[in-house]
Amino acid sequence: MRVAHFDCFSGISGDMVLGAVIDAGVPVDAIRAALDSLDLPIKLEVERVKRCGFAATKATIEAADQEDYRFLPDVEAILAKGALTPKQRELATAIFRKVAVAESVAHGMPLERVHFHEVGALDSIADIVGAAVGLDLLGVEKFTSSPVPTGSGTVKCAHGIMPVPTPGTAELLKGVPLAPSTIKTELTTPTGAAILTTVVTEYTATPVMTIERIGYGSGTKDFIEQPNLLRLMVGTANTAPERERAETDTVAVLETNLDDISPEVIGFCTERLFACGALDVFTMPIQMKKGRPGVLLSVICAPDKVNELETILFRETGTFGVRRTTATRAKLQREAVTVETTWGPVKAKRGWRTDGFTVLTPEYEDCARIAREHNVPLREVFAAVARA
């Protein structure tokens, strides 16, 4: 399988994506031809630059400033008249629609009334269309990305001074694992977030792939702390059938130390966490300051569940802080099965790896039901399922 991985160690923006795909080998003339077909007063300039000593490609869109806002139908009309392939037009449209949905949520207005500010400007239109064409011409089947730093501090936008990430960018990055950054600027722009979340299907710090090409797209600013670059790695991954590949995904881990609440409260909180979609909740005894015994309450969840589960932790436990970390999880391939026993069918879950390892886990509720109905020990039901 052909794959591409975004290494967003300095964030991501539209011009960085455009520079990275060109640096990775996409012909710049093909992108220029697509942009020229939009019949807009824009020009693509490409140059080699260095950021903190590392060479990269800087893509710059030269366009006049325009004060008029554009609505989604205006942008779609521009895309419709361009000489784009159906796949390229579909991708560019999907990116703009993702921005429109995020803006509608952030501003609390219907989708049809959303007008684009920075993203509707000529240079942003060119960045998105150029990125859509370039990503299509890479010829990959899957995109992955590292956790994304947004930057810190504030940024001046059409609505005044806003904290980083801005509301639109934050809405676009829902469910995306974020990485910390102390750099006082906007590292991830709305355009970059929209492109990323439209094409990426998996977030992982380390991609499982054989690298063939690497492209570096440069941002406009030149930081002292680190190179302002987006690294795009293109290559191949295991092409074994999906059922035979090892599964990996990214999960969030939430933790808090508790020493001033009763076990009943922790039990109730655990129940609420599971009901809200936590993948796992567990506790460990710990010793806290002043020699007090305490409990470490840990929650494993999908990244898009972090805010909901944190709210439960704060509300139910009264804790003053919750720690967040992101982890890559390896999982067995799995399927639900039904096993026949002398007492009837029992549900179970089968897991396996490509090296031949396999495991069968009976479903507790089903086994407990049979144990009660037939008045047999639960362990005998488990053993019967294992033998079957």
**β pairing state of 210-218 and 229-236:** antiparallel
Strands of 64-123, DSSP E: 70-71, 115-116
Beta bridge partners of 143: 4, 200
Cis omega before residue 86 (within 30°)?
A: no
Low-confidence stretches of the chain (pLDDT < 70) are: 66-69, 107, 110-120, 158-159, 238-247
Residue 184: both structure tokens together: 């006082």
Whole-angstrom distance between the N-terminal and C-terminal Cα of the chain?
Answer: 37
Domains delineated in the chain? 2-244 (no CATH), 247-331 (3.30.70.1380), 333-387 (3.10.20.300)
CB 1, CB 143: distance < 8 Å = no
Q: Supply the DSSP string of 260-292, one letter for each residue.
A: SS-HHHHHHHHHHHHHTT-SEEEEEEEE-GGG-
Rounded CA separation 272/88 (Å): 44
Which pLDDT belongs to residue 388?
78
Q: Going by C-beta distance under 8 Å and a sequence separation of 6 or more, which residues neighbour residue 44?
A: 28, 31, 32, 35, 59, 60, 61, 62, 126, 130
pLDDT digits (tens, 9 = 90+) for 236-248: 986 544 444 456 7
Q: Supply the DSSP string of 208-228, one letter for each residue.
A: -SEEEEEEEEE-SS--SSS--
H or E element in which residue 93 lies: helix 86-107
Rounded CA separation 37/84 (Å): 8
| Cα angle: 161, vertex 167, 169; to 5 degrees | 110
Q: Among candidates 12, 2, 21, 20, which has minimal Cα distance to 137?
A: 21
Please provide the size of the chain in residues.
Answer: 388
Which pLDDT belongs to residue 244?
43
Q: Among candidates 147, 207, 110, 123, which has minimal Cα distance to 12?
A: 147
Which pLDDT belongs to residue 238?
67
pLDDT digits (tens, 9 = 90+) for 68-121: 667 778 888 889 989 999 999 999 999 988 888 887 787 677 656 665 654 457
Residue 109: both structure tokens together: 């207005």
- Give the Cβ contact number of residue 149 at 10 Å: 20
Rounded CA separation 141/230 (Å): 20
- Burial class from Cβ neighbours inside 10 Å (0-12, 13-18, 19+) for residue 41 reads exposed
Rounded CA separation 43/36 (Å): 8
Residue 20: both structure tokens together: 């990275």
Rounded CA separation 148/12 (Å): 8
Which pLDDT belongs to residue 104?
78
Percent of the chain with pLDDT over 90: 60
Residue 123: both structure tokens together: 């240079």
Which pLDDT belongs to residue 285?
95
Which pLDDT belongs to residue 69?
66
User: What predicted TM-score, i.e. pTM, was given to this entire model?
Assistant: 0.64
Which pLDDT belongs to residue 318?
94
